[in-house]
Structure formats: C-alpha cells, structure tokens
Amino acid sequence: MASDVSAKRTFAETGPSSPVVESVRVDQVTPRAKTGMTVRLLLAILVAFIMLIPVTWMAMTAFKSRPDATASPPKVFFAPSLDGFIGLFTNRTQLSAGALATEQERTDLNFWEKQALARGMRILGPSKFVNQLQNSSIIALTSTFLAVTLGLLAAYAFSRYDIPGKGDWLFFILSTRMLPPVVVTIPIFLMYRVLGLYDTHIGMILLYTVFNLSFSVWLLKGFIDEIPIEYEEAALVDGYSRLQAFRKIVLPQCVTGIAATAVFCLIFAWNEYAFALMLTSEKARTAPPAIPSNLGVGGIEWHVIAAGSLLFLIPVVIVTFALRKHLLRGVTFGAIRQ
C-alpha cells in the first residue's frame, strides 16, 4: 500500500508522460500501471512466440535437406534447400553414374531439374500431390460458393419472414452440424457407392456444401438481422419487387458478412479430413488425408511432409489475418458479436 501511495505521488508531480487524448482511468496512466502494461506486452510476446514454435518449426523443416530434417539433436541453423518442395511436386528417379554424366552435359534443364540433378536425381513428372492440391481447391471453392449462395437465400427468408416453426427449423439446421462426421459417414458411404458418387468431385462438393450450409445459414442470418428492415420497406414502397429489394438493398449491405462466411466455409472445406479419408480414394482425394499417407511411403520424408503442410497452411494463415475482426462471430455460429 505504501509503495502505491508513493507511486501516485510521483505521478502527481510529473503528470502523464504523454498527452491524454481520450478519457482514461487515472490509475491506468501511473508509472506503475505503465510498467504493468510493458510486462504484459513482453509476456504476451513470449506466449505468442511459444504458441508459434510448432508452426515455425514446420516452416523451417520445409526448407531443410533430408539429413538436416531428421538430424539428432534437431538443427536450428541449417543451409536452406528446396529438396522438400522438389520431393513434394515431382516423382524422381535416382540416376546411375553413367546416366548422371550424360544428364550433366545437358543445357536445357530448368531450375528444378538442376536442383534435383545436384542430388543425382532426374525428375520424371509431377507427383500426385499436384493433383490433390488441385482437388482440394476445386472442391473447397465450389462447395463454398454453393453453401454461401444457398445459405444466403435461406438466411434471408428466415430473417425476414414469419415462417411457422422457425425456431425448430433453425435448431434442426444447426444440429446437423453437431453430428460427428464418422457417424454420418457410414450411411453416406453406402449411399454414395450406390449412386456412383464415391470418390468423385461432385460427391465431395455436395457433402461439404451440406456440412457448411448450417453454418452459413446461422452466420448470415445474424448479419442480415442487423440490416434495418426499414430500408427494404422503403424500397418496396418505391416500387421495388421483393427480389429487387433483396438484390439492391440487402446484398450490398451484407457484403462483409458474406465474405466472412465464405472464408470460414472455405477453411472448413480446405481443412476437412474425416469425410475425405473415407469417401475418396484416388480421383477426388484432397490434400489433408494425402499428406500423411502418400508422402510417408518408404521412410518418413519429414522435409517433404513439412513442405506440403506449409504450402497447405499458408493460405489459412493469410486468411486468418484477413478475418480477425470476424473470428469470434465465426467460431460461435454468429451468436456473439464483437
């Protein structure tokens, strides 16, 4: 208590160190409170650093050569190499001494081929991963588009009309999202086998659309609820039809909401593993089930896995920054607004 008083007295003598622009609690501009803030900042930096170690380690491993990636004890400093990425995107073959010599005389090699050659290997062609990344993109983008479009329509109807049993319907829609994927997969797997949707893009797109629908309806309904209904009523009085009012009044007003919803759906579809593992095999396989299984064949090539993971995670990290204002809303199905 005594130190408290003395701290306040020095503050009374010196006054706040920087001009007080807005109203601030007096006890928060004291030197003591300021030290507290600095300590907090340092602690927060430390925590953020610790939290990011695994991700950073993954990024580092992606740029290691094979021996460096599995060195014991683990190497923090290493010579960067692109081996991981070459391993990820290509199928290679080890060259014999004779073949190596002829190959080295060639002058028409591109950058990647030279990198591979430096390790005595020749690139045969693109690996499956290229295909899987492509599948991931197609399935995630299309299903997001569908989920947001259909979700927007349903959300608008639920927000603006007095639909009988509205609460029950919304409850039903959300409850579908709570089902464990493994539980619904068995019947869907059997259903897809009969319908010929097993291991097809369209099957996965529809499945992810359905899974994201409940989320997009709930989130978008929250955004539409916030647009004052008076705008539309004014438009209707001015002779707009319902659909025109929807297109010209509601849509522009909830562009942010639509974007945030789309990004969340995209992340879900991009990251999804359980369904993809059980409902695809070759043709439509996406990257998440493939990165652990395909790349690990013949001794775990950690630098390759890390390169794949890194490429896969980068979009999500970028998007997280873009989304930061809406994260809370997204993860609580629109129940809590910031």
Partner 1 sequence: MDQSLQIAAAPPTRRRQISDSTIQRLFIMPTLLLLILWNVFPLFYSLFLSFTRYSHSGKLPPVWIGTANYDALLSDPKVWLNFAITGRYALLAVLFQAIVGFGLALLLRGKFKGNGLLTTLILIPMMLSPVIVGMFWRLIFNPLTGIFNYLIGFWNPATAPIWLKDNALVSVVIVDVWMWSPFVMLLCLSGLKAIPDYLYEAAAIDRASPWRQFWRITLPSVAPLLLLAVLFRTIEALKAFDQVMGLTGGGPGNATETVSVSLYRMVFQGQARTGTASALAYIVLVVTIGISNVYIWYLNRMKEA
Whether 216 and 148 have beta carbons less than 8 Å apart is answered as yes
Whether 329 and 338 have beta carbons less than 8 Å apart is answered as yes
Q: Which is nearer to partner 1, 30 or 115 (CB)?
A: 30
Q: Which is nearer to partner 1, 111 or 161 (CB)?
A: 161
The four Cα atoms 250, 255, 260, 265 give a dihedral, to 10 degrees, of: 70
Q: Which is nearer to partner 1, 126 or 296 (CB)?
A: 296
Task: Report the alpha-carbon distance of residue 30 to residue 289 in Å, rounded.
Answer: 54
Least Å from the CB of residue 106 to partner 1? 36
Can you tell me which of 9, 10, 35, 43 binds partner 1, judged by CB under 8 A?
43
Task: Report the alpha-carbon distance of residue 334 to residue 37 in Å, rounded.
Answer: 32
Stretch of residues binding partner 1 (CB under 8 A), selected from 91-99, 100-108, 109-117, 169-177: 169-177
Q: Which is nearer to partner 1, 117 or 217 (CB)?
A: 217
Stretch of residues binding partner 1 (CB under 8 A), selected from 77-85, 137-145, 239-247, 248-256: 239-247
Using CB under 8 A as the binding criterion, the count of chain residues that bind partner 1 stands at: 105
Can you tell me which of 20, 175, 202, 226 binds partner 1, judged by CB under 8 A?
175
Task: Report the alpha-carbon distance of residue 57 to residue 215 in Å, rounded.
Answer: 33
Least Å from the CB of residue 309 to partner 1? 5
Least Å from the CB of residue 65 to partner 1? 14
Can you tell me which of 7, 58, 100, 109 binds partner 1, judged by CB under 8 A?
58
21 scored as a contact of partner 1 (CB under 8 A): no
- Show contacts with partner 1 in window 283-312 (CB under 8 A): 288-289, 291-292, 302, 305-306, 309, 312
327 phi/psi in degrees, rounded to 5: -55, -45
Can you tell me which of 11, 30, 61, 63 binds partner 1, judged by CB under 8 A?
61
Residue reference for tokens 């993109």:
137
- Show contacts with partner 1 in window 68-107 (CB under 8 A): 69-74
Per-residue x/- mask for partner 1, residues 131 to 160, rule CB under 8 A?
-------------------xx-xx-xxx--
Least Å from the CB of residue 60 to partner 1? 10
- Show contacts with partner 1 in window 252-281 (CB under 8 A): 267, 270-271, 273-274, 277-278
Distance (Å) of CA 109 to CA 31, 84, 95, 105, 281: 65, 19, 15, 10, 34
Q: Which is nearer to partner 1, 22 or 108 (CB)?
A: 22
* 152-182 CB burial, b ≥16 within 10 A, e <16: bebbbebbbeeeeeeeeebeebeeebeeebe
Can you tell me which of 127, 214, 261, 280 binds partner 1, judged by CB under 8 A?
214
Q: Which of 281, 323, 60, 82 is nearest to 192 (CA)?
A: 281
Measured at the alpha carbon of residue 311, what is the angle toward residues 219 and 178, in degrees to the nearest 5?
30
Task: Report the alpha-carbon distance of residue 112 to residue 169 in Å, rounded.
Answer: 55
Extract the runs of DSSP E, i.e. beta strands, from the chain. 90-94, 121-126
Least Å from the CB of residue 13 to partner 1? 22
228 scored as a contact of partner 1 (CB under 8 A): no
183 scored as a contact of partner 1 (CB under 8 A): yes
Q: Which is nearer to partner 1, 106 or 337 (CB)?
A: 337
Q: Which is nearer to partner 1, 115 or 280 (CB)?
A: 280
DSSP for 165-211 reads: THHHHHHHHHHHHHS-HHHHHHHHHHHHHHHT-TT-HHHHHHHHHHH
Q: Is 46 exposed, middle or buried (0-12, 13-18, 19+ CB in 10 A)?
A: exposed
